[in-house]
Amino acid sequence: MKEGLSLVQRLSAHPDSRCWFVSWSPNGTLLASCGGDKAIRIWGQEGDTWICKSVLEDGHQRTVRKVAWSPCGNYLASASFDATTCIWKKKNDDFESLTVLEGHENEVKCVAWAPSGNLLATCSRDKSVWVWEVDEEDEYECVTVVNSHTQDVKHVVWHPTQELLASASYDNNICIYKEDDDDWECRVTLEGHTSTVWSLSFDNTGKRLASCSDDRTVKIWKNCSPDDQQGDLSWKCVCTLSGYHGRTIYDVSWCRLTGALATACGDDTVRVFKEDETADPEQPVFSLVAQVAKAHDQDVNCVTWNPKEAGLLASCSDNGEIAIWRFQEES
Amino acid sequence: MSSRLENANPVIFQRSGERLLTASEEDEDVHDPIDEREIFDLIRSINDPEHPLSLEELNVVEQLRVKVDDAGSTVGIEFTPTIPHCSMATLIGLSIKVKLLRSLPERFKIDVHITPGSHASEDAVNKQLADKERVAAALENSSLLEVVNQCLSTRNI
């Protein structure tokens, strides 16, 4: 079978608005979307088609920029330009607003759960990253505010297995944080991009991190710390994918099942890269294996691989649409 | 005029005349791509935030600094602040961007930049204007949106 991306379904998710972000539930059966219409929609499959299962409204006063599922799949967090983060609890087929996390001075740009589900990170245009602790009673408490970036923080993501947090910023840098005596601090700053870093994605091992930027490149960073010195964080850029993207790259997603790397670009194109397995791991080589020009009529804002079904990819766009794609590898 | 004006005595430029319609433009059956003059007509009458003058009259926008590729769906605008420390540069750029976002088909990618070398904080302003997330957030701010709408409102000349 020929490799490539084939369209499974196109959904008008946030009509007359932007669709900013989509996120798969941990078991891969639900897709949450959010957008400029201040709403969150939950999509699920019925037969062969994806349909809207519920609409979460009235949680936010302004754009919902990103959403994230807890590792157990029972909670959804939503980050909004209204400076708050909402926590929604799943109840049967519906969701109810459980609590609202306040504190950021202005727009919250991203939210992410740690693999344990006990920690949550948020970041904002106020240049800070906040780490929140969740207890058994569903109470949230801010444990740290870190101000390592000098500009708007665009994205936060946790390591797939460890309590290690990474953030990307308008200041062109990436920060990596670890806990030290109940306090979270930035342990290393990755410099290399020449403009805003929009998004980050760890590979399945967590030893490598992909970043994408307004400078139209994707960089692959590798943790070079010796295994016996876990606290000693040392990361270096081992690969830069340059020359493929026509405009800003808004998102990158590294599939934990197949290792394929997908990008969302302001030139309306969805691209998929695969690593050359024969290349030196210290100097990895990625090649473009599939792309759909005009994947959407407008900017592609997000791409995300389904965590359970290999090759299933969701993307969303400024025109309010979601598209679901199947990536077929050479066989 | 109030003494708080940053550039109290700007040089004023003459407005261009009305655009002449060609026969093919009036022919509904001929494909008529969007050209530089049409884009310029959309932005030339935007009001300056501090003077009762248009961006054209202050030479902030010029037709020769408009680039259009209709087939490639891109529009590039360079604008020239009246003075290198103009604190209104971001607001002017935002007004140009909003005017074009509202007027052009959604397929267009709109890039608004400061004319190279004409502003002290050129890179910072350009980066801010290119960040669609920050532009979206700014336009959800009702007081800022009101100021932008004032710049975009048509004056009676």
- Element at B23 (helix H, strand E): helix B23-26
Beta bridge pairs of residue A22: A33
CA distances from residue B41 to A156, A184, B5, B45, B78 in whole angstroms, order as listed: 43, 54, 27, 7, 15
**A214/B107 CB distance under 8 A:** no
The pLDDT of residue A281: 87
Beta carbons of A119 and A113 less than 8 angstroms apart = yes
Give the confidence band of B26 by pLDDT, cuts at 50, 70, 90: confident
Which of A196, A247, A297 is closest, CB to CB, to B131? Answer: A196
For residue B52, give how far its alpha carbon lies from the nearest alpha carbon of chain A (Å): 33
Higher pLDDT, A313 or B33: A313
ipTM above 0.90, yes or no: yes
Beta carbons of A204 and A259 less than 8 angstroms apart = yes
Which of A21, A61, A81 best probes binding to B when mutated, by most B CB atoms within 10 angstroms?
A81
Q: Which residues 65-124 of A are in CB contact (within 8 Å) with B? A: 65, 81, 106-107, 109
| Separation CA B99–CA B79 (nearest Å) | 14
Higher pLDDT, A2 or B24: B24
For residue B130, give how far its alpha carbon lies from the nearest alpha carbon of chain A (Å): 9
- Element at A24 (helix H, strand E): strand A19-24
The pLDDT of residue B93: 98
Give the confidence band of B2 by pLDDT, cuts at 50, 70, 90: very low
The pLDDT of residue B23: 72
Which residue of chain B is at minimal alpha-carbon distance from A266?
B109
A320 touching chain B per CB within 8 A: no
Edge-to-edge, what's the strand order for the sheet holding A321-328? Answer: A4-12, A321-328, A312-317, A300-305
Report the DSSP pairing between strands A286-292 and A300-305: unpaired
Q: Which residues 36-75 of A are in CB contact (within 8 Å) with B? A: 36, 62-63, 65
**B136/A170 CB distance under 8 A:** no
For residue B133, list chain A residues with Cβ-Cβ distance below 8 A: 65, 109, 154
Tokens 């074009």 belong to B100
Per-residue pLDDT, averaged over A205-231, amounts to 88
**A63/B140 CB distance under 8 A:** yes
**A63/B137 CB distance under 8 A:** yes
C-alpha of B18 from chain center? 18
A17 touching chain B per CB within 8 A: no
Residue A141 has pLDDT above 70, yes or no: yes
Q: Which residues contact A164 (CB under 8 A, 6 or more apart)?
A: A158, A176, A177, A178, A206
Per-residue pLDDT, averaged over A50-67, amounts to 96
For residue B124, list chain A residues with Cβ-Cβ distance below 8 A: none
Which of B109, B132, B137 is closest, CB to CB, to A107? Answer: B137
Q: How many residues does chain A have?
A: 331
Per-residue pLDDT, averaged over A158-177, amounts to 97
Which residue of chain B is at minimal alpha-carbon distance from A125?
B134
Which of A153, A195, A197 best probes binding to B when mutated, by most B CB atoms within 10 angstroms?
A195
Amino acid at position A59, single letter: G
A199 touching chain B per CB within 8 A: no
For residue B130, list chain A residues with Cβ-Cβ distance below 8 A: 214, 248
**A63/B136 CB distance under 8 A:** yes
Per-residue pLDDT, averaged over A7-11, amounts to 97
**A63/B130 CB distance under 8 A:** no
**B134/A125 CB distance under 8 A:** yes
Give the confidence band of B133 by pLDDT, cuts at 50, 70, 90: very high
